[in-house]
Structure 1
Amino acid sequence: MGLFNRRNNESATATAVATATLDPQLAALSGDYTIDPAHSSIGFTVRHAMVTNVRGSFGSHQGTLSLDGSDPSRSSAVIDVDIASIDTGIADRDGHLRSGDFFDAENFPTMSFRSTGAEQLDGDRYRITGDLTIKDVTRPLSIDLEFQGSATDVYGNERVGFEGSTEILRSDWGLTWNAALEAGGVMVSDKVRLTFDISAIKSAPQAA
């Protein structure tokens, strides 16, 4: 009888702890959101000529978030990026990146991410997993994100913010163009760091 009671107490304690870890603010944020491209950025950093980093971004992108603050594992994300909007600050380089040597934007105009799972790591840190498609290659990808907070803007929009990053090997998606350097090494690193700074607006509930 004592063991039974002890197990009941342990179960009750575990339930209380789990409930206590739920952030009431996050629970209240549950709902569908549209990514605001005017206040979001999707960028990348790649090593160039073995000595410096080149940074760029995609100026045109769209996507949605479905957040479940009470159970983050039920959250999801969809993001589509317009490859032609790539911008590194150098027109000739941007044109090369759009060409068949790299993204082949004419035949594959969109890079997409579709989430397949999500989890809370600790505190405000989360990990979202899914499928990243570049050109005609789809491979799994995990992105670590940090919740940046929520606010109601001057227009009455309810906003949430997330910031995160991940690293990929571009060759895994068939982006293999390179050039050898005389002193050794290559012109463009295989490793690319992707960065995400997302502001999303909560959708109005649909009428019953």
Structure 2
Amino acid sequence: MGLFNRKTDIADTTTAVATVDPALAALTGEYTIDPAHSSIGFTVRHAMVTNVRGSFGRHEGTLRLDGTDPSRSSASIDVDIASVDTGIADRDGHLRSADFFDAENFPKMTFRSTGAEQLGGDRYRITGDLTIKDVTRPLAIDLEFQGAATDVYGNERVGFEGGAEILRSDWGLTWNAALEAGGVMVSDKVRLAFDISAIKAAVPAA
């Protein structure tokens, strides 16, 4: 069952009345992304023959979910560029340098959603603006709702998993090196991966 699915009852031969599943409607609210149980990663082709994977260890964000109307849901994420980690210190230092992210002058990568839609079942697409360095361009992220649960500490959690593909050159990340046999050291295409666990904010007492 999708996060925003609706049940339809036929009132008569000409009129359909939509009713909202109470369990799904109950998920409506503000959520804080839990960085300890979430990951924002990337994969890029290296030397035309293999993949290099990395992630950003420090990030924060919020989700606003509407269990009755997915188009009213939204997301905001801030990523600390200096936290990039590919498992190789020298490579991570190069990524932080002015050749790539220029973390000293542009310490944050941000995403601000502008729209959301249900694609069917548990699949959703959220669109928004991704800013890297001083460039802001649109990005669409396809996500799958992984479910909701209450953890052992009483936190109400939701989970989403998904990804997107970008051309890093669209954000001014153009550094490269030509290979002797042809091709380049680093592919332009980058695959982004998101695995998000978010905790629902407590509702203030009336």
Question: Normalising to structure 1: TM-score of the pair?
Answer: 0.91
1:5 maps to what in 2? none
Structure having the higher helix fraction is: 1
Q: How does 1:100-119 map onto structure 2 within 5 Å?
A: 100-119=98-117
1:147 maps to what in 2? 145
2:170 maps to what in 1? 172
Letter in 2 for 1:135: K
- Please state how far the C-alpha of 1:27 moved relative to its aligned partner: 1.6
Letter in 2 for 1:119: E
Structure having the higher strand fraction is: 2
Percent identity between the aligned chains? Answer: 86
User: Given the alignment, which residue of 9, 15, 23 partners 2:13?
Assistant: 9
- Please state how far the C-alpha of 1:69 moved relative to its aligned partner: 0.8
Instruction: Please give the root-mean-square deviation of Cα atoms over the aligned residues, in Å.
Output: 1.1
Alpha-carbon distance in structure 1 between the residues aligned to 2:34 and 2:110 = 16
2:3 maps to what in 1? none
Per-residue Cα deviation, 1:139-174 (whole angstroms, up to 9, x for no partner): 000000000001100000000000000000000000
Per-residue Cα deviation, 1:93-122 (whole angstroms, up to 9, x for no partner): 000000000000000000000000000110
- Consecutive unaligned residues of structure 2, counting only runs of 5 or more, are 1-11
Larger Rg: 1
Question: Normalising to structure 2: TM-score of the pair?
Answer: 0.92
Letter in 1 for 2:96: R
Alpha-carbon distance in structure 2 between the residues aligned to 1:23 and 1:181 = 57
Alpha-carbon distance in structure 1 between the residues aligned to 2:33 and 2:145 = 14
Secondary structure of residue in 2 paired with 1:92: helix
User: Given the alignment, which residue of 66, 69, 73 partners 1:68?
Assistant: 66
Alpha-carbon distance in structure 1 between the residues aligned to 2:169 and 2:50 = 20
Label 1:68 to 1:157 Cα distance change in 2 as closer, same or farther (>3 A). same
Alpha-carbon distance in structure 2 between the residues aligned to 1:23 and 1:41 = 30
Q: How does 1:1-208 map onto structure 2 within 5 Å?
A: 9-10=13-14, 12-13=15-16, 15-16=17-18, 19=19, 22-208=20-206
Alpha-carbon distance in structure 1 between the residues aligned to 2:101 and 2:24 = 37
Alpha-carbon distance in structure 2 between the residues aligned to 1:111 and 1:206 = 31
Alpha-carbon distance in structure 1 between the residues aligned to 2:150 and 2:171 = 39
- Consecutive unaligned residues of structure 1, counting only runs of 5 or more, are 1-7
Alpha-carbon distance in structure 2 between the residues aligned to 1:112 and 1:120 = 23
Aligned residues: 195
- Please state how far the C-alpha of 1:28 moved relative to its aligned partner: 1.4
Alpha-carbon distance in structure 2 between the residues aligned to 1:195 and 1:154 = 27
Alpha-carbon distance in structure 1 between the residues aligned to 2:170 and 2:157 = 34
Runs of 4+ in 1 over 4 A off after TM superposition: none
Per-residue Cα deviation, 1:155-200 (whole angstroms, up to 9, x for no partner): 0000000000000000000000000000000000000000000000
- Please state how far the C-alpha of 1:80 moved relative to its aligned partner: 0.2
